[in-house]
Structure 1
Amino acid sequence: MTHPLRIGIWALVHGNRAALNDPEEPYDASWPRNQALVQEAESLGYDCVLVAQHTANPHKESLDQLEAWTAAAAMAATTSRIEIIAAIKPMLYHPVVLAKMALQIEHISQGRFAINLVNAWNQREIVNAGIHFLEHDARYAYGAEWLECVTCLMQGERLSHHGAHFQIEDYMLRPAGTFRPRPRIYVGGESEPARALSAAQADVWFINGQPLPDVQALIADVARRPRPGEPLRYGLSAFVIARETEAEAQAAYERLLALAAQDTDIKAYVKANTDPAVVMRQTMAKSIRVGTNGGTAAGLVGSYDQVAQRIAAFHAAGIETLLLQFQPFEAEMRRFARHVRPRIAG
């Protein structure tokens, strides 16, 4: 069964999503901007916001960086309807502490909070903090045990756990279950361990932007795996450039592509700090694109009608949550809400 389509946005935790130096979008990763952005997104009818987690800016360490979990708590207190999804890298937080934080934000938001588990691609962020950076598959084994503990605690269950990474004795958290059994769980990543973890423990598997046939193949692979409970649901990241005509959209795309080409120092910095085993890096290398996490590789560049039709095709393939990026963000977010969203059925 395909659920109704939900459309969300990425918070601007590290500023611009496509190109750093854009005269139409001066760099700004501040809390005031993100607060206003999320409040406006809610008023425009967007369903959710993803707050990515980085402690230092992953593109350039001299740039500002919004902290995900304190910001998510503040967003919870200053909105009323939108779902707030905070990303989390398990190596940075003990499961007991993180579960308590999640339950607090769930309580503040009155049942609108979710976590997005990502197993860390930025080696510098971990290693320079004095934390051992596990190899790729070991990070997922760690994340699976971590998430098992967090899930139990978020559900208000009493936990005694003795595993490879965590020793937890007779722990229970309150308040829990006030609004629903627990916050929703998203998992990101497309490697084999990420797929296995998503099938076993996630509510929603978050896929990086890529062409429809590739997304269909990914969904088919994970959907056939054994799974406890309700069927897994699917989300997709995408960068949108929509205009009245396809030619206008292509011109806007070429503008951003040219601006992004100037960010050679950023690209070199990111590459130097990225674990080469991360599948996202391999996927992104397949196409010329703008935006993060796949960006325009999902093909949402075109006329209003074309973009709406392509979104409908993703929805028919099983994507139920779209997390969108734009640049300049606020203006294009408004354009999408006005011209594309009404063209999408469901």
Structure 2
Amino acid sequence: MSDAPRFGIWAAVHGSRASHHDPDEPDDASWTRNRALVLEAEALGFDSVLVAQHTANPYDDERDQLEAWTASAALAALTRRIEIIAAIKPGLYHPVVLAKMALQIEHVSEGRFALNLVNAWNKAEFERAGLPFPPHDDRYAYGQEWIGLVDRLMRGERVTHAGRHFQVEDYQLRPAGTFRPRPTIYLGGESEPARALAAERADVWFINGQPLDDVKALIADVARRPAANAPLRYGLSAFVIARETDAEAQAEHARLLALARRDEGLRNATRARTDAASVMFAKTDAAATQHVGTNGGTAAGLVGSYETVAARIRAFHEAGIDLFMLQFQPFEAEMRRFAKEILPRVQ
């Protein structure tokens, strides 16, 4: 864990994070908006951007959806300091092809690229394209073999592999190792297969937003396992609502909750396409009436006065969280508020 916490933002890949009916937030997933958002985040001092991968909008396929890997390549050329993390669903790309893409973005960014391995939960994204969507644990078994190959290929090793899912013969990728041994590997997911794979292959394990004690328990469980890339680091997703007073922040949270209720139809349609074994959706469904945002959102408790939010961030950091991957709404205005009011208090 670093001495000071790091902070990242979720790119607006499918528009709003809390509600699609907020008059103060453009429901805009365009490249133009995302380019401006990431460039401003870098200028404000944020350390990372996470570009989630969806081929079609997971809420409504009539809405815009930013493509993660082409956008990440473009961001790599435009930025100078911020880490660019592109999510990847192994079932969509052969490991040789993906490893080559990752190395190219690593080269363009001069050593600032990372991939975030996710198990995929949107069945329709695969099945409508005629792609296989195996059961949850089988997808993790596939991902384990997949990331093992990608890891070696990104290191520039000459790879020959005969496995259950892939046959690779005498393959080597270049350029590799120009800036560091390989791009950083993040892994998301809280099921038992996800935890095991995080310890085995990841540099950073992403945890969905939830209370501090739950996060401590998750970290303790994974930290006890032998880690191939020790010391394993930890990231946390969170939706931030910070104001001068706790009361003002709670009032804004109530406003966003009320707006989010208007998205119930979209959420129901999304749930119908969701793998029932997804741990993330099991947790977020249970908390949907109390919290806003995706991947746990405000369940992490970063809602309150500037001092309250800063104190909670410090507590999470002391528990082992290195990187906070943040959501806001309206995104640009609240991102600026966080940079002005919270960053100085915690760095």
- Scaled to the shorter chain, the TM-score interval is over 0.9
The answer to whether the 8 A contact 1:2-1:318 is kept is: no
Q: CA offset at residue 156 of structure 1?
A: 0.3
Candidates 279, 294, 298, aligned match of 1:296: 298
Q: Secondary structure at the match of 1:285?
A: helix
Which amino acid in the other structure matches residue 300 of structure 1?
L
2:323 maps to what in 1?
321
2:40 maps to what in 1?
40
Q: Secondary structure at the match of 1:143?
A: helix
1:281-320 CA-to-partner distances (Å, cap 9, x unmatched) read: 1121332210000000000000000000000000000000
Q: CA 1:225–1:60 in structure 2 vs 1: closer, same or farther (change >3 Å)?
A: same
Aligned partners of 1:112 and 1:14: how far apart in 2?
Answer: 24
Q: TM-score if structure 1 supplies the norm length?
A: 0.99
2:88 maps to what in 1?
88
1:311 maps to what in 2?
313
1:273 aligns with 2:273: yes
Aligned partners of 1:244 and 1:58: how far apart in 2?
Answer: 35
Aligned partners of 2:130 and 2:229: how far apart in 1?
Answer: 38
2:342 maps to what in 1?
340
Q: Secondary structure at the match of 1:185?
A: strand
2:135 maps to what in 1?
135
Which amino acid in the other structure matches residue 69 of structure 1?
W
2:78 maps to what in 1?
78
1:184 maps to what in 2?
184
1:24-79 CA-to-partner distances (Å, cap 9, x unmatched) read: 01211000100000000000000000000000000111000000000000000000
Which amino acid in the other structure matches residue 185 of structure 2?
I
The answer to whether the 8 A contact 1:89-1:119 is kept is: yes
Which amino acid in the other structure matches residue 175 of structure 1?
P
The answer to whether the 8 A contact 1:44-1:334 is kept is: yes
Identity of matched residues, % = 69
Aligned partners of 1:174 and 1:45: how far apart in 2?
Answer: 32
Aligned partners of 1:211 and 1:2: how far apart in 2?
Answer: 21
Aligned partners of 1:71 and 1:244: how far apart in 2?
Answer: 36
Aligned partners of 1:82 and 1:67: how far apart in 2?
Answer: 19
The answer to whether the 8 A contact 2:200-2:229 is kept is: no
Structure 2: segments with no counterpart, 5+ residues: none
1:29 maps to what in 2?
29
RMSD after superposition: 0.8
Q: CA 1:150–1:26 in structure 2 vs 1: closer, same or farther (change >3 Å)?
A: same
Aligned partners of 1:276 and 1:28: how far apart in 2?
Answer: 29
1:243 maps to what in 2?
243
Please show how residues 208-223 of structure 1 align to structure 2 within 5 Å: 208-223=208-223
Q: CA offset at residue 195 of structure 1?
A: 0.1
Which amino acid in the other structure matches residue 320 of structure 1?
D
1:164 maps to what in 2?
164
Aligned partners of 1:3 and 1:15: how far apart in 2?
Answer: 33
Which amino acid in the other structure matches residue 130 of structure 2?
G
Q: Secondary structure at the match of 1:4?
A: coil
Which amino acid in the other structure matches residue 303 of structure 1?
S
Which amino acid in the other structure matches residue 213 of structure 1?
D
Aligned partners of 2:266 and 2:315: how far apart in 1?
Answer: 34
Which amino acid in the other structure matches residue 73 of structure 2?
A
Aligned partners of 1:268 and 1:227: how far apart in 2?
Answer: 38
The answer to whether the 8 A contact 1:186-1:203 is kept is: yes
Which amino acid in the other structure matches residue 306 of structure 1?
T
Q: CA offset at residue 2 of structure 1?
A: 4.9
The answer to whether the 8 A contact 1:2-1:316 is kept is: no
Aligned partners of 1:37 and 1:21: how far apart in 2?
Answer: 20
Q: TM-score if structure 2 supplies the norm length?
A: 0.98
